Amino acid sequence: MKKGENILQGRDVAVGYRQGKAIRWVVKNLSFSLQSAKLTCLLGPNGVGKSTLIKAIMGQNLPVKGEISYKGKPIGQLSPRDMARNVSVVLTDRISPGNLTVRQLVALGRIPFTSWLGSMSPEDEQAVQKALDATHIGYIENRKVSEISDGQLQKTMIARALAQDGKLIILDEPTAHLDLVNRLEIMQLLRDIAHTQQKAILVVTHDLDIAVETADEFWLMPCGGPVVIGRPEDLILSGAINQLLPDGKLQFSPTTGKVQAIMAEETIPVDGPEEVAQWLRMALRKQNMLPSNALRLSVTKDPVSFLIYRKETKEQFYTIEETLNALQLE
Partner 1 sequence: MTNNSNRIRIYTLGGVALLLVLFLINISVGSIAIPLHEILAGLTGAALSKRSWEIILFDYRIPKALTAILAGLALSISGLQMQTFFRNPLAGPYVLGISSGAGLGVAVLLLGGSAVGWNLMGGSFIGIWGTILAASTGAMLVLILMSLTAWKVKDSMTLLIIGLMFGSATGAIISLLSYFGGAEELKLFTVWSMGSLGGVSKEQLWVFFMVCVIGIFPVILFVKSYNAMLLGERYAESMGVNLYQLRWAMILSTGMLAGSATAFCGPVAFIGIAVPHLARMVFQTGDHRVLFPASALIGASFLLLCDSISQLPGTTETLPINVITSLFGAPLVIWLILKRNFSRDF
Q: Is 81 a residue that touches partner 1 (CB under 8 A)?
A: yes
Tell me: does residue 87 bind partner 1 (CB under 8 A).
yes
Q: Is 109 in the site for partner 1 (CB under 8 A)?
A: yes
Q: Where are the alpha helices (DSSP H) in the chain?
A: 50-57, 80-86, 102-107, 122-134, 150-163, 180-197, 208-214, 232-238, 274-286, 320-328
- Contact flag: residue 62 with partner 1 (CB under 8 A): no
Which residue's CB is nearer to partner 1, number 95 or number 264?
A: 95
Shortest distance, CB of residue 59 to partner 1, whole angstroms? 9
Least distance to partner 1, CB of residue 168, Å? 11
Q: How far apart are CA 100 and CA 144, in angstroms?
A: 6
Select from 19, 46, 77, 96 the one that contacts partner 1 (CB under 8 A): 96
Give me the DSSP letters along 116-152: TT-PPPHHHHHHHHHHHHHTT-GGGTTSBGGGS-HHH
User: Closer to partner 1 at the Cβ: 60 or 121?
Assistant: 60
Q: Which is nearer to partner 1, 102 or 178 (CB)?
A: 102
Q: Does 108 bind partner 1 (CB under 8 A)?
A: yes
Which residue from 42, 56, 84, 276 is in contact with partner 1, where contact means CB under 8 A? 84
Select 174 or 222, whichever has its Cβ closest to partner 1.
174
Q: How far is CA 214 from the centre of its chain?
A: 8
Q: What is residue 325's three-state secondary structure? A: helix
Q: Both ends of the chain: CA-CA distance in Å?
A: 59
Q: Which of 45, 74, 118, 273 binds partner 1 (CB under 8 A)?
A: 118
Q: Which of 14, 33, 67, 85 binds partner 1 (CB under 8 A)?
A: 85
How far is 179 from 255, CA to CA, in rounded Å?
A: 25
Of the candidate spans 13-21, 44-52, 67-75, 108-116, the one that interacts with partner 1 by CB under 8 A turns out to be 108-116
Determine the interface stretch with partner 1 among 109-117, 248-256, 262-270, 304-312 (rule: CB under 8 A): 109-117
CB 50 within 8 A of CB 204: yes
CA distance 132 to 105: 11
Distance of CA 281 to the CA centre of its chain: 29
Is the Cβ–Cβ distance between 304 and 276 less than 8 Å? yes
Q: Summarize as ranges the residues that interact with partner 1 (CB under 8 A).
A: 58, 60, 80-81, 83-85, 87-89, 91, 93, 95-101, 104-105, 107-109, 111-112, 114, 116-118, 120, 142, 146, 164
